[in-house]
Amino acid sequence: MVSTHPPVLPISSTTTTQPPIVTAVVESQPPAVRAFVNGVTETVRGGLSRSRPWSELLDRSAFSKPDSLSEAATRFRKNSSYFRVNYVCIVALILGFSLLAHPFSLILLLCLAASWLFLYLFRPSDRPLVLFGRSFSEYETLGGLILSTIAVIFFTSVGSVLISALMIGVATVCVHGAFRAPDDLFLDEQDAAAVGFLSFIGVPAVAPSASSAPSPV
């Protein structure tokens, strides 16, 4: 008697394997991303640990009108050496609020930053970039990213938002530095030896020893 049921085909479990290029990219990118995030986190944490108390920055009794332009410049120089981390935080906060108030500029800036990170910085150097079936060399990728950066900054609202926010932040810092009397401010030896407004970046915070005396600003 012939069976009317169709024969049962054997089912074999097959596993799909990714191409070697995709596997290399997936395996090499997460450690690089983690290392980058850890480095940025440690830098920000080390910089913030060197900030001055905000109550000292906003001490109303220490504000007075400078007698001359030269005195205002001297005050700003001393205050920028003492409150450099706080000043950078103020400019960064103004820049962040300005970008949040302009979501389109924020999205463009995030896309541009992601392009630099994943298409150039975190991409394996021995693997060419392949888009739309075309392979791009290292110099072509870099040139395209530079042109994209110029286009985003100068031909969209991103440039005006960044420039206006930076101008407001710098003006705020200059006004505070000129009107805040620095007579009661003292620098540690490590801070006095630091040169540059962003010299705190990458410098580990060291607790002052008991034998070291503070030097006046």
Establish if 115 belongs to a structural domain. yes
- Residue 13 pLDDT exceeds 70: no
CA distance 90 to 84: 10
Establish if 16 belongs to a structural domain. no
- Residue 17 pLDDT exceeds 70: no
- Residue 14 pLDDT exceeds 70: no
Establish if 178 belongs to a structural domain. yes
pLDDT in tens, 90-102: 999 999 999 999 9
Kindly state the average pLDDT of the residues 35-40: 72
Establish if 49 belongs to a structural domain. no
pLDDT in tens, 109-167: 999 999 998 888 887 777 778 887 888 888 888 999 999 999 999 999 999 999 999 99
- Residue 43 pLDDT exceeds 70: yes
pLDDT value for 22 = 38
- Residue 8 pLDDT exceeds 70: no
Establish if 26 belongs to a structural domain. no
What pTM does this model have?
A: 0.66
Residue of 128 and 204 predicted with greater confidence: 128
pLDDT value for 132 = 79
CA distance 119 to 58: 44
Residue 87 lies in domain: 67-191
Establish if 23 belongs to a structural domain. no
Establish if 12 belongs to a structural domain. no
pLDDT in tens, 151-191: 999 999 999 999 999 999 999 999 999 999 887 666 655 55
Q: How many structural domains is the chain composed of? A: 1
pLDDT value for 72 = 94
pLDDT value for 138 = 84
Establish if 46 belongs to a structural domain. no
pLDDT value for 187 = 60
